[in-house]
Structure 1
Amino acid sequence: MSTPPPQPALHPALADRPGHLLWRARARVAAATEEEQRAGVDLHAVSVLRDLVGSPGGAPRSQQELADTVGISRTTMVRVAAALVAEGLVQRVRNPLDRRSYALTPTDAGARAVRLWQERTEAVQERLIRGFTDEEREVLAGLLLRVAGAEVGEETAEAVRDDIGFLVGRAHTRMHRRFLEDLAPLNLEPRLFGTLNLLARSGSLTQSEVARHLGISGASVVQIADDLEARGFVDRRRDPTDRRTQRLHLRPGATETLAAAHRVEAATLAAQMDDLSADEVATLVALLQRFVTSPEP
């Protein structure tokens, strides 16, 4: 199994922002998941089957309910369900809550598969939180669960509720959805907000520098730069020392928009983390910083 490159350092403009840290943490979980999938394990299928097996009494669950619980799209859920049925790990039965529709329930083979897969998925989580003490892992899981709020329902299997990768995804989903809605009146999105913060702190940056600071691909930065330029927030200018390179510069007026976005961010965080004290928010930030930047073994 190949080892991913070291995680890029957090930029000072973003290092203490919970939304950015959750986004970076989710990206790290996704990278680990993709690596396991290349090794022949579909972790979406593992999560769905584990949730089914962990349901009280193995009760049937609808595909939409499972998709919401595990945090995957309907399209992915349809693919996962079809594969699990074809492999004999789950079966479709009449939905006890709606006899006109079907739900999924695990087979005996599915229960055995969960036990076999559990070791593999636990190994992924161990890689992600290597270096954390048992107490720190428990604290991080508890804080993420509280931030995720309703994104993790009471019906979610206990095994999934303790999974750091799953909780990172659900906490990010809740935070991102709310921030996206709150930024809309400013003609901004979270991904654009992060780039503006970088430029406000660092002055002009090349697109490759933005990519490194955000931990994303060059192609993703090109799209971000296109969107920021189209919305009138940045200009692209040739680097005077290297005419082949373009630098991003804030345009007049962007600073005022960014200041308004900071106020929106504060209100969003207050609403999304109202269950956490200031000390608990600081603890969550510190743990996520370690999670995001810790090197792979």
Structure 2
Amino acid sequence: MPHERLGLVMDESGVTSHPPRRRRRGRIALLLVVALVAGGGWLASRFLYDSLRTPRCTITAAGMTESFDPEQTGNAALITALSIKRDLPPRAATIALTTAYQESKILNITYGDRDSLGLFQQRPSQGWGTKEQILDPVYSTNKFYDALLKVEDYEHADITEIAQKVQRSGYPEAYRDHEGQGRVLASALSGHSPAGLTCRLAEATGAAKPAAVAKALATEMGVKQAEATGDVLTVTAPDQQTAWAVAHWSVARAAQFGATRVTIGERAWDREAGDDGWSEGAASTTVTVTLG
């Protein structure tokens, strides 16, 4: 009986031991702990791998580095390209991008405060246009620039004052918080910061025709010197700054158009290179965009 109370068992030979069931339970518990630890490690490593592979664009300019998702970067490229087409100073693109970041995180959203919509959260009830027009990024961006040009001394005045005069926002001080992001985006996407933009993207699953990319470049940036040969679009820019603007636009819109390689002279961005960015070499005024 004492042996039983202690959880011991005496067999016929007189040898005392722990019950087999207790040992099996211990082994099972140990195996469960090992499995949980191993499983947790696998989940952690998988999470880390997925986070490292998440599509992301990185922009470096003026000693600052910012990251955006491809949709934000593509919209930012469109906003900047339209400022180039309209021959506006870089400050105009900075103001527009800062405003779009504050209003929508540079996303063409279909909702907002009251009847606000789109990149700049413009309101049909305030005369910005119809819902369909405002949700057209080219239209809404041009309407923003139209309003901006009416603001006296917008190139030098405080960004909060300028944005407020254009937007009539309920939170005017918030614009200043995002001027850094706006300045970095404008600098790289306008070509002032060579090789300042690179994107890590998922594998291309479809590609637009070179003619469609050429049309978008003409509509957004006013670039018309583009020639399509097979799956490659070759753009001849008037100067190297414009060439970098075209190259960065092409990378920023690669997720949308399915570009797999962009070159500017000897320098190249490859979709498969991930975070490696632009290769070394001499730039030029010729940009090629390979699709698919």
Decide which structure has the larger Cα Rg and report it: 2
Question: Comparing both chains, which one has the higher relative contact order based on Cα–Cα distances under 8 Å and sequence gaps of 6 or more?
Answer: 1
TM-score w.r.t. structure 2 length? 0.24
Higher helix fraction: Structure 1 or Structure 2?
A: 1
Using structure 1 for the length normalisation, give the TM-score.
0.24
